């Protein structure tokens, strides 16, 4: 799938693009079945809430490791997902990490306002030539803890961040007073909602957050975070593990667009 000139201009302006119903319900069904299988795995790649439920499932895109999944490996290589990533990163890309985030019905907790590059700059990635492709694995509303994106906020550049420890995953987030200031000076955040299969591509400096899941259904999203091959991290002394900062920086090849359902 090739982004049009208008879509590329929109990405430049807003820092994100939404693709309603990009993946079919049949593809989503295959991926959801995989999520059900993966949630039983006990490994470092499966980050759990203090209560034991899954918060994030990492590294589902590779052919090896405890959380390997053929359908998710196929998903990241589809032209629908990978070609727009290559376009916005202006060349070869690789997967920095994949994570499937859960938000259980009634209990699923927020993700604080942050820029993904708050963390990735600390991993040693030299520039912000990075982006994430989010695919909704169930219908998502504001009420079920969908993302909010602050349009145009990637143009603020990298903001100072502090580590939020209020949830089970330590996240570099924007300090409260700074975020209040930014929100007051910005257009309203956009709630990113849609049917299962909807895709969202966003710049690593765009401010985003998500709220509580107050609905009756679990919310499942996959985040395929990508880096330009030319921007691989200069790793420091204690780099984060490979499942969150991939060392596989070979250019990801575009493969069969129909491979997700074939991998079932």
Contact footprint for ligand SIN (CB under 6 A):
101, 111, 147, 208, 210, 221, 223
Between 79 and 152, CB nearer to ligand SIN:
152
Name 160's Cβ contacts closer than 8 Å, sequence gap at least 6. 174, 175, 178
CB 120 within 8 A of CB 114: no
Question: Binds 22, which of ligand SIN, Mn ion, none (CB < 5 to 8 A, cut-off by type)?
Answer: none
With tokens 């700074």, the residue in question is 178
Question: Binds 101, which of ligand SIN, Mn ion, none (CB < 5 to 8 A, cut-off by type)?
Answer: ligand SIN
Q: C-beta of 5: minimal distance to ligand SIN in Å?
A: 28
Q: C-beta of 90: minimal distance to ligand SIN in Å?
A: 23
Between 88 and 224, CB nearer to ligand SIN:
224
Name 25's Cβ contacts closer than 8 Å, sequence gap at least 6. 196, 197
Question: Binds 118, which of ligand SIN, Mn ion, none (CB < 5 to 8 A, cut-off by type)?
Answer: none
Identify residues 87-116 at the interface with Mn ion (CB under 5 A). 116
Greatest alpha-carbon pair distance for the chain in Å reads 49
How many residues at the interface with Mn ion, by CB under 5 A? 1
Question: Binds 221, which of Mn ion, ligand SIN, none (CB < 5 to 8 A, cut-off by type)?
Answer: ligand SIN
Between 27 and 96, CB nearer to Mn ion:
96
Q: C-beta of 7: minimal distance to ligand SIN in Å?
A: 22
Residue 34 engages Mn ion in binding (rule: CB under 5 A): no
Identify residues 114-173 at the interface with Mn ion (CB under 5 A). 116
Query: Which residue's Cβ has the minimum distance to Mn ion?
Result: 116
Calculate the CA dihedral of residues 161, 81, 261, 99 and round it to 10 degrees: -10
Q: How many CA atoms lie within 13 A of 123 on its CB side?
A: 25
Order of all β-strands in the sheet with 111-114: 111-114, 208-210, 147-149, 190-192
Q: C-beta of 171: minimal distance to Mn ion in Å?
A: 8
Between 34 and 116, CB nearer to Mn ion:
116
Question: Binds 147, which of Mn ion, ligand SIN, none (CB < 5 to 8 A, cut-off by type)?
Answer: ligand SIN
Rounded distance, CA 92 to CA 167, Å? Answer: 34
Q: C-beta of 5: minimal distance to Mn ion in Å?
A: 27
Q: C-beta of 93: minimal distance to ligand SIN in Å?
A: 18
Calculate the CA dihedral of residues 189, 190, 191, 194 and round it to 10 degrees: -170
Between 78 and 213, CB nearer to ligand SIN:
213
Q: C-beta of 135: minimal distance to ligand SIN in Å?
A: 12
Binding site for Mn ion (CB under 5 A): 116
């Amino acid at each position: 799938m090739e982004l049009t000139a208008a879509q590329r201009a929109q990405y430049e302006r807003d820092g994100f693009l939404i693709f309603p119903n990009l993946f079919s319900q049949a593809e989503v069904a295959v991926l959801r079945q995989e999520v059900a299988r993966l949630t039983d795995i006990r490994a470092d790649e499966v980050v759990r809430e203090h209560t034991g439920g899954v918060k994030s499932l990492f590294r589902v895109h590779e052919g090896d490791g405890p959380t390997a999944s053929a359908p998710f490996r196929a998903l990241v290589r589809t032209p629908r997902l990978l070609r727009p990533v290559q376009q916005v990163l202006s060349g070869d890309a690789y997967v920095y990490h994949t994570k499937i985030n859960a938000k259980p019905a009634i209990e699923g907790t927020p993700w604080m306002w942050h820029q993904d590059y708050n963390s990735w700059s600390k991993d040693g990635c030299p520039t912000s030539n990075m982006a994430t492709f989010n695919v909704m694995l169930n219908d998502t509303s504001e009420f079920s803890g969908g993302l909010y994106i602050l349009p145009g906020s990637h143009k603020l550049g990298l903001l100072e961040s502090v580590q939020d420890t209020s949830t089970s995953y330590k996240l570099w987030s924007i300090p409260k007073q700074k975020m209040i200031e930014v929100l007051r000076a910005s257009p309203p955040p956009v709630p990113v909602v849609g049917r299962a299969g909807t895709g969202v591509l966003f710049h690593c400096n765009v401010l985003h957050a998500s709220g509580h899941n107050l609905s009756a259904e679990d919310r499942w999203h996959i985040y395929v975070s990508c880096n330009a091959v030319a921007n691989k991290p200069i790793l420091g002394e204690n780099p984060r593990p490979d499942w969150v900062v991939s060392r596989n920086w070979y250019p990801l090849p575009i493969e069969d667009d129909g491979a997700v359902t074939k991998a079932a």
